[in-house]
Amino acid sequence: MRGNDVIVRTGSKWLSFIIIMFSFFIFMSGHNNPGGGFIGGLMAAGALVLVAVAFGTKVLYRLLPLNYRLVTAAGLLIAVLTGVGSFIFDVPFLTHTFGIYHLPILGETELATATLFDLGVYLTVVGVTMTIILTIGEDV
């Protein structure tokens, strides 16, 4: 039973985008500033939950047809593969490296393998949070 909550819906439209952007920002800047995969993932999940609360889960699924259990699995896989990747270079498991490169548009940019690992964390956290909340939410 959903009332005429236009304000909520209009607000969430904007807010969820802003939150997603912010979560991305936090994720990217995590290496040098407060933030990282964990908190970024939680925030992204927060944005998705906002959509689900304002529009209902069906809308969320239509908007973003994702199986969040697969998102979790993908995140874990990325994290593990990042670690395994170090074997190729004959270094111990989960050895990271980084370098500063000159990229066409971005200019001086630091690229680190740790970011890939953090991406795994990010996806896992999104998947986990959404699985939990949607499972419980759909059940009741």
Do 49 and 87 form a contact (C-beta atoms < 8 A)? no
Site string for other proteins, 99-128 (x = CB under 8 A): x----------x-x-x--xx-xx--xx-xx
Tokens 């393998």 belong to residue: 113
Supply the minimum distance, in Å, between the C-beta of residue 54 and other proteins.
15
At closest approach, how far in Å is the CB of 90 from other proteins? 18
Q: Does 137 bind other proteins (CB under 8 A)?
A: yes
Q: Give CA torsion, residues 106, 107, 108, 114, to 10 deg.
A: 20
The residue within the footprint of other proteins, chosen from 34, 65, 104, 107 (CB under 8 A), is 34
In total, the chain counts a number of residues equal to 140
The answer to whether 12 contacts other proteins (rule: CB under 8 A) is no
Cβ closer to other proteins: 9 or 77? 77
Shorter beta-carbon distance to other proteins: residue 4 or 32? 32
- List, in sequence order, every residue forming a beta bridge with 99; answer none if it has no partner: 111
**What character string, x for contact with other proteins (CB under 8 A) and - otherwise, covers 38-77?**
xx--xx-xx--x-------------------x--xx-xx-
* 140 interacts with other proteins by CB under 8 A: yes
Contact 12, 51 (CB under 8 A): yes
Our CA angle for 132, 135, 77, nearest 5°, is 50
Give the separation between CA 23 and CA 3, rounded to whole angstroms: 30
Does the protein bind other proteins through residue 85 (CB under 8 A)?
Answer: no
CA atoms within 13 A on the CB side of 132: 8
